[in-house]
Amino acid sequence: MEKKEKKGWFSKLKEGLHKTNNWFSTLFNKEGINDDFYEELEEAMILADMGMETSERLLDALREKVKTNKLKEREEAKRALKDLIADAVRVDTPFAPDKGAAVILIVGVNGVGKTTTIGKIANEYKEAGSRPMIAAADTFRAAAAEQLGEWAARADVPMVRHQEGADPAAVVFDAIASYCAKGCDLLLVDTAGRLHNKKNLMNELNKIRRVIARELPDTPCEVLLVLDATTGQNAVAQAEAFLDVCELTGVILTKLDGTAKGGVTVQISDTLHVPVRFIGVGEGIDDLRRFDPNDFAAALLDVE
């Protein structure tokens, strides 16, 4: 059963990454490890959105491995690269909600999948036996709370909302009161889409952050940036910009089922040192997965 389930999302991810898979498969199916191979591999890695810096670093490490382990076949090099990619995206920092009560504050630019992802996370934790609560702190966009309310109903999780235009920090304040009263153990906060260069919106985020720190001083808060993987290098720029202005503890890459080339996930983790916590592989409530370095590297390179 578990195997079947895994295949479901794994094949969605692989379908999404088929373009990237094809470049790598064509390359790795040829013979011999020579200069041409490394040159073409670098090109494929950059095309796959891994960025120059990460591609070069991984290639140097691969050359080293090929030499030390006397690898002769491209198939062997492919497996070695898979392990290197998995190592590059692996983090040891535990994810706060897995250790006890926690807050997850979701941030990001417009339309990247924040609200959808909250619904999916609420569902995952609810099904695992946790008691999530949702705060509808996107009071900016018309119908934002209705959209989130539909997800809350689907996941069967309580939600606190105010009128459109209300102070998002006040929503969070009320949600925390309800969270405590109901004995919940995971507070999920949705926020309006914002550009990192809009100062007032960034101040608003900091205000929300302060309310959480003041009202729940002993509860760890994960600040997760949602990024649309189909936007490629733009996602990297967004991550850099948000890192400059708020304390991110992790990222979520969405839309990896679409036209994303996927390598940007590796680049962000490798160059910005922020853990990737989840990946989105569709629009449904079950289309969210914990980020697994090995599975992801395997899907990217099409290794079984």
Q: Name the site residues for ligand GTP (rule: CB under 6 A).
A: 108, 110-116, 138, 141, 144, 193, 254-255, 257-258, 280-283, 287
Which amino acid type is present at position 98?
A: D
Radius of gyration of the chain (CA): 20
Rank residues 138 and 270 by Cβ distance to ligand GTP and give the closer one: 138
Identity of the residue, 102 or 112, whose beta carbon is nearer to Mg ion in the bound complex: 112
Site string for Mg ion, 55-94 (x = CB under 5 A): ----------------------------------------
Site for Mg ion in 90-149 (CB under 5 A): 114-115
Q: Which residue is nearest to Mg ion (CB)?
A: 115
* # chain residues binding Mg ion, by CB under 5 A: 2
Residue 34, token pair as written in the block: 């020579």
CB of 3 to Mg ion, least distance (A): 34
- Smallest gap from Cβ 291 to ligand GTP, in A, equals 13
Min dist CB 209 to ligand GTP, Å, is 19
DSSP alpha helices (H): ranges in the chain?
Answer: 2-16, 18-29, 35-47, 52-68, 74-89, 114-127, 144-155, 168-181, 199-215, 233-245, 263-272, 293-301
Alpha-carbon gap, residue 287 to 236, rounded angstroms: 23
Show the 3-state SS of 243-294: HHHCCCCEEEEECCCCCCCCHHHHHHHHHHCCCEEEEECCCCCCCEEECCHH
Instruction: Please state the closest distance from residue 236 (CB atom) to Mg ion, in A.
Output: 22
Residue 51, contacted partner among ligand GTP, Mg ion, none, CB below 5-8 A by kind: none
124 binds, among Mg ion, ligand GTP, none (CB under 5 to 8 A by kind): none
Half-sphere exposure for 245 (CA within 13 Å, toward CB): 21
